[in-house]
Chains A and B, each alone.
Chain A
């Protein structure tokens, strides 16, 4: 992956897949494009060292995740939430909420690291060690984030008030 033509080819062939990951990380189509674009900008100067397409994609995915987390850190002086408006949710009785409500709006409320772990583990199907490499943490930390995320999802699915609020 040494020259601009290969970079362009990479962007053309892999951006769609990367955009979908970016969308799950951000919850917003336009933010997803911004996130992907930022990751590509970070990747470009290193392009000479990204010899394999898989290495390049891995780098861009890593840059997206870390950039997103960095965005959230900097959001202290912002007033908005990074997540887009959650899709409409059915308001249901507690007994059938788990089967009728959707997980996606709740995923959007997870802290960025937990959300990144969920996306990488359950959408990208990455292993714990691969996820840890992207996040720059230990596998134990990944397990911890994953456990807390699942715990939150279960708890909120069981809470009809949360589901109504999210909708």
Chain B
């Protein structure tokens, strides 16, 4: 027995959804998103489409496109974070949110940012001269070329092919393969590069071409330089991350996950970790190696495979927030690049990633160029974003998901 009002409800609700259809790329994007986010909870995470590394004042590395030919590996347990009482997660002031719409990605609408990176990033590694025949003082970028080849962009903007070093494409237990160039490969000054390898870590002095290979069992897929350049944090699939002392070759396992960890200026490991029981929150864990280890709750969900990057007391990361801005524009997505205060966990600013940037938000670079400016990967190329002013500038074209390259930049 139904009332007329209930009958009307049935009719009107069905009428209301007429024409509500999925956007054409929803299924592929949704499935990919699910896989990536689930994989990220594992100890090891395979390679990403596009990765960028800034060291100190800024190396950027855009990683090669991953070849995917397997299912995600099973999840492993991670080390519990330090148990410290926490306060409620600070919220984001959405008045500070900046949104870029796809139309703004017409590059002619943006001014250029003058950096050491060329405006058009050279990517033809196979045709480049060898580094031994055309040496450099330091690199501004690394570019993943065909197979396991590596291109080195000098501070003259020219591309060389790294030679004299035997490298393999990275692989993981699930069959994912990718370039050995990773976001964290370059040191801040661009003088040394580290490449994760199967069962090894290779470190190359780009000025003289000398290299060292350290045995490091496992499917190594991620590297992060410490600020003092004496240690390299290595992440691997299916096992704990390791801290390698390159001065003596010693290796020690660490409790934090290299895929979600960066170093602060004073050398502490800073891990952005999802809380397993709650989708929309995370924790910022500071591993000092002492009883001062601490964690902060965050109302942020780490978004992509792009690792976070710390500088001058702030962290930038690709993430999601559990909230919706009042305006129509920002209800179109909650994904973007977020800058937060390391000491308090308070979000400072967010640059919304429009839907067209889904892939680059998820996989693209996100790192500090200097104390004021962040570099992120848009569809056409690299963008400089200054959170304090909201300024957006073009940095360089090139390095799309399809070109399978890796780079680094010095300002």
Q: Give A residues with C-beta under 8 Å from B.
A: 3-4, 7-8, 11-12, 15-16, 19-20, 23-24, 28-34, 36-38, 40-42, 44-45, 67, 70-71, 74-75, 77-82, 84-85, 102-104, 107, 118-119, 122-123, 125, 150, 153-154
Contacts and interface: CB of A to CB of B under 8 A. Distances in A.
A32 B17 CA distance: 12
B69 to A, nearest CB: 12
Given A31-B331, A103-B8, A154-B5, 14 more contacts: A4-B31, A16-B22, A19-B21, A20-B17, A23-B17, A23-B20, A30-B331, A33-B26, A42-B279, A45-B38, A74-B322, A122-B13, A123-B14, A125-B10
Given A24-B17, A45-B38, A7 B323 contact: no
Contact of A102 (B12, B26, B72, B322): B12
Interface of B: 3, 5-6, 8-10, 12-14, 16-17, 20-23, 26-27, 30-31, 33-35, 37-38, 71-72, 75, 91, 94, 279-280, 299, 322-326, 328, 331-334
A102 B8 CA distance: 9
Nearest to A70: B280
Given A31-B331, A42-B279, A103-B9, A24 B16 contact: yes
A123 B14 CA distance: 7
A125 B333 CA distance: 30
B20 A28 contact: no
Nearest to A99: B8
Contacts, number: 114
A21 to B, nearest CB: 8
B34 A15 contact: no
**The 8 nearest A-B residue pairs measured at CB:** A80-B326, A77-B91, A20-B17, A122-B9, A123-B13, A44-B34, A78-B323, A30-B332
Contact of A41 (B3, B23, B27, B33): B33
Contact of A31 (B14, B16, B94, B324): B324
17 contacts: A3-B71, A4-B72, A8-B27, A11-B31, A15-B22, A16-B21, A30-B333, A34-B334, A74-B280, A74-B299, A77-B299, A79-B94, A102-B12, A122-B10, A123-B13, A125-B10, A150-B3
B324 A33 contact: no
Contact of A79 (B14, B21, B279, B326): B326
Nearest to A122: B9
A119 B99 CA distance: 32
A24 B10 CA distance: 12
Contacts of B14: 123
